[in-house]
Amino acid sequence: MLRMENVSKTYRHRGQMVTALNEASAEIPEGDFVSIVGPSGSGKSTLLLMLGGMLSPSHGRVFLEGKSVYDLNLNDRAQLRREKLGFVFQTFNLVPYLSALENVQVPLFLSKTDEKEQKDRAAALLDRVGLGDRLDHKPRELSVGQQQRVALARMLANDPAVILADEPTGNLDPETSQQVIGYLEEFNREGRTIVMVTHDPRAAKRAKRTLRLQSGAITCQGAGEEDCWEPDSAVA
């Protein structure tokens, strides 16, 4: 499903070269649920952006369903993201002046789905995450946890095969965090592949596998979070 081959990313910052990823290689099969852990600055978000086709490597290759993502032109890469990938972020990225229903409709509108189908699907997805009675509420009228659930519903709009989640519980209280991870587990049981960056050991423990990053290198690929977890993984 997803594969990285000897991927590195370097950039210049204040006159110095910084290595964000260093010869990283990993394979994530279809239906896997992987947590990515490691201290701040270890390259976790960089790795996720590269898997998502949003940040080109300095060298190395990234594959999604056998296609070399960064050998595609920009239009084809954007289409691949729309058709195959769903994104969840710590900051939700909801449009503040749109209702919950309209926020979930955005990817459907961009994919030129019929307007009635947009509304019907958006309403059904919000109902699925327990927000069927909040369709007309704008983000400021929702709790932080409810906003993240709107973001989850929006992520599902185009029925992605792969979900990339960057600290999806980072702004949430423990109870709501566990609820969000529960939804991700549910999506995984439906056959979706999930890659989740997290500092939270409780969230990492719910994944099937863990990759640990240290200074841009993958230092551990374990069957459970205990195999790869170290105390500094929880440092924010």
User: Average pLDDT of 5-12?
Assistant: 92
Q: Determine the pLDDT at residue 233.
A: 43
On whether residue 139 sits in a domain, the answer given is yes
On whether residue 81 sits in a domain, the answer given is yes
On whether residue 45 sits in a domain, the answer given is yes
What is the 3 state secondary structure string of 26-88?
EEECCCCEEEEECCCCCCHHHHHHHHCCCCCCCEEEEEECCEEHHHCCHHHHHHHHHHHEEEE
On whether residue 102 sits in a domain, the answer given is yes
Residue 219 pLDDT grade (very low, low, confident, very high; cuts 50, 70, 90) = confident
Q: How many residues does the chain have?
A: 236
- pTM, 2 dp: 0.90
CATH code (residue 183): 3.40.50.300
On whether residue 2 sits in a domain, the answer given is no
Can you tell me the distance from the alpha carbon of 47 to that of 164, in angstroms, rounded to the nearest whole number? Answer: 11
CA geometry: angle 71, 220, 87, nearest 5 deg: 50
CA geometry: angle 233, 151, 29, nearest 5 deg: 55
Say if residues 67 and 44 touch (Cβ distance below 8 Å): no
The residue segments making up the domain with residue 81 are 29-56+73-229
Residue 212, pLDDT > 80, answer yes
Q: Is the pLDDT higher at 131 or at 12? A: 131
Domain count, the chain: 1
Q: pLDDT tens digits for 77-101?
A: 999 998 999 999 888 899 999 999 9
On whether residue 13 sits in a domain, the answer given is no
- Amino acid identity at 108: L
